[in-house]
Amino acid sequence: MSVDLSQFIPSFLEESFEGLEIMESGLLNLKPGDNEVIHSIFRAAHSIKGGAGTFGFENVTDFTHLVETLLDEMRDGRREITKEDTEILLESVDCMRLLIEAARDGEDYDSEKIESTSKRLTITLGEGCARDESSEPEQAQQASHNAQYHINFVPEHCLAKTGNDPLFLFNALTELGNLSLAANTSELPALTDIDPQELYLSWQLTLATDASEDDIKEIFEWVEDECLLEITQQAAPNTNTPAEANRTDDLPVETTTQPEQQAAVDKDDASTNVAEKDKGKAKSKAKSDVGSIRVGVDKVDSLINLVGELVITQSMLSELGSDFHMSKIEKLTSGLEQLLQNTKELQESVMRIRMLPISFAFNRFPRLVHDLSIKTGKEVELVIKGEQTELDKTVMEQIGDPLVHLVRNAVDHGIEPAEVRIAAGKKQQGTISLDAYHQGGNIVIEISDDGGGIDRNAVFNKAFEKGLIESNASLSDSQVYDLLFEPGFSTASEVTDISGRGVGMDVVKRNIQALGGRIQVESTKGQGSTFKVNLPLTLAILDGQLVKVGSETYIIPLISIVESLQIDKELLNRVSGDMVLYRLRDDNVPILPIYQLFNLEADFTELDNALLVVVEADGQKVGLMVDDLLAQQQVVIKSLKDNYQQVAGVSGATILGDGSVAMILDIPGMIQMALNNAQHAQTLQTKASYGELMS
């Protein structure tokens, strides 16, 4: 009888990734004479090699064999543990991860990187002609200089809606070298069919640069899931034959010299691209479908016990219902209360299954900080706290990239060079702290550094130069730091390959907001900065405040609410554009009547003594005028986009206990709607005034 080994491959892959984490963590902390650590690293590599051989992943086996041999020499004492060897092993872990991911996804991998690292391992082991082969990587590196890349960039139509602007990407590419581009307009619809929020163009770009392919990919890292990106290295411009040079020069012109042929080519390319995109989506979907989660046996046992309790309660209620009379009303009430309790405990138990320690997201940062320290020449210590704080798996997967960006910025811009720190009386080694903890039903992640802090005046002046604020604007520190999240905003005097182009912080904020969270910045010049990310524990359930407007019930996320109050007319102040401000201590809070935004008939339209729910988003407070405050409760979020369509000012819907549907308000979206309305009213008022003057 034959056994289908393929059924065990997912377990092998999962254990291999855990083994890689053990190897990486061990290598980052490896010191000479630390035999226990080197043994654990060797065992992890040996297990991966053995499993890969069993399932026929020969490339993983061959590569890991070299790694295992080097580790074997270290654990036997035949080789000293050196920093150079540790770096090669860390690079080898990256290669093993590439190979295993390729085996999991059925995709190609970077064979050049694997081959280059294999040669370095072989040279280190002394199994080849070290001198001759060691020169090859240098020659390869030199050959990559003055390279020319052809980039096929086909964004999805929804790219612009996610806050990404191709112009920023192209500007960043021009900083790497000479860029020429040709736009493909074949998917551009008729003028009457154009949705101004959609992106219909794709581009063929040619970049002559000294930068590496990784540098180019880094520019596209925020949009890589929302586009088809193909980067092909071509011959260096200065080594092209005349014919090749002419062909290269013709690239942008091809779209205009032979429009009919090019249109046909574009159409074919577009079809191919769509097919490839669909294939990519299918792969991504397949990848997400096979995602798994490890759950502790105690959690599963708890779930089974609760299901047993639920079955008992259901049996009791069924028996009661088959022979019910009013004398059993007390028993029925008791049974329903028991059912309510069982349901609540079952819900909490199921939600706990999706909760994972945030260490799954934090584990990548020791390696990241290690690599950035080498790259920037700065000494940086990473301190991690609260790694056992639990967070929903979906939130965990989506918060990883924004945290990476914040940590990269902290190393590159936050921590000062050693000589500056010493001159300022600080330790030569800088410190970056990652801390996670629960607060008020949410999770807070803090990324702190003890660097030079944010220069408030530099941010203010840069914002004024870019026309974001007036020179006499009176802004709090929080409002000034919030300008850092404006698209393309950067105060960095020098653009590095790590950060400084200002193409990331706006996306960080948008991604956090998309998770229903918010980000705040605190900084003290000379002492450091703290970025505080506040996230909901889960995306499936929301703590909300139910409010009544006319005959409708809406839900305001509790995380957005600052306070609720009754309006005192003495504190009202009308300004231009029919905007009404409410004096709330040191703030002037604009009032947004919900009935006006959604064209409803409200019970109360007068401001005097009306109820106001003050909410905050994007560092801006507004007061939502409602008819009545109802209960606070947890609600299950249903996507409007999946079930109906996206509605401005509404982030989702839920079904209440009485079976009615209630909309969940999108606070940032509502603030934007109100600002747009105010701007429109101001424009109309200006036109009317101008008309009166002219008449």
Catalytic residues: 46, 68, 409
Return the beta strands (E) in 502-586 as ranges: 518-524, 528-536, 541-549, 552-557, 561-566, 572-574, 580-584
Q: What is the DSSP letter of 416?
A: P
Residue where the block lists tokens 């995602």: 291
Q: If you count DSSP H runs as helices and E runs as strands, how many of each does the chain have, helices first?
A: 23, 22
| CB contact at 8 A, 184 and 202 | yes
**Cross-strand partners of 574:** 580
Structure-token pair, residue 446: 């803090």
Residue of 382, 401, 399, 497 lying closest to 449 (CA atoms): 382
User: How many Å apart are CA 209 and CA 415, to the nearest integer?
Assistant: 29
List the beta strands (DSSP E) in 537-684. 541-549, 552-557, 561-566, 572-574, 580-584, 587-593, 611-617, 620-626, 628-636, 650-655, 661-665
Spatial neighbors of 513 by CB under 8 A, at least 6 apart, are 617, 618, 668
Return the structure tokens found at 326.
């009013």
DSSP summary character for residue 618: T
Q: Which residues pair with 178 in a beta bridge?
A: 208
What is the number of other CB atoms lying within 10 angstroms of the CB of residue 443? 25
Q: What is 78-104 written as a DSSP string?
A: SS---HHHHHHHHHHHHHHHHHHHHHH
Residue 92 tokens read as: 């080898």
**Residue 194: both structure tokens together:** 């154009």
Cα–Cα dist 365/368, whole Å: 5
Query: CA 107, 110, 111: angle at the middle one, nearest 5?
Result: 105
CB 319 within 8 A of CB 335: no
What is the distance in angstroms between the CA of the first residue and the CA of the last residue of the chain?
97
For Cα atoms 367, 368, 374, give the angle at the middle one, nearest 5 degrees.
90
Residue by residue, DSSP assigns 442-466 as EEEEEEEE-SS---HHHHHHHHHHT
- 77 Ramachandran zone, left/alpha/beta (phi>0; psi -120 to 50): left
Give the total residue count for the chain. 695
Residues linked to residue 431 through DSSP beta bridges, in sequence order: 381
Interhelix angle 365-376/83-105, nearest 10 degrees: 130
**Distance between CA 212 and CA 149 in Å, rounded?**
10
Name residue 664's beta-bridge partners: 555, 652
Q: What residues form DSSP beta bridges with 573?
A: 581
Identify the residue whose tokens are 């590159």: 412
Residue 56 CA: distances (Å) to CA of 8, 42, 414, 643 = 12, 21, 47, 44
Q: Is the dihedral of CA 140, 143, 145, 148 positive or negative?
A: negative
Q: Which two tokens stand for residue 415?
A: 């921590």
CB half-sphere exposure, 258, CA atoms < 13 A: 8
* C-beta of residue 611 within 8 angstroms of C-beta of residue 663: no
Q: Determine phi and psi for 106, rounding to 5 degrees.
A: 65, 30
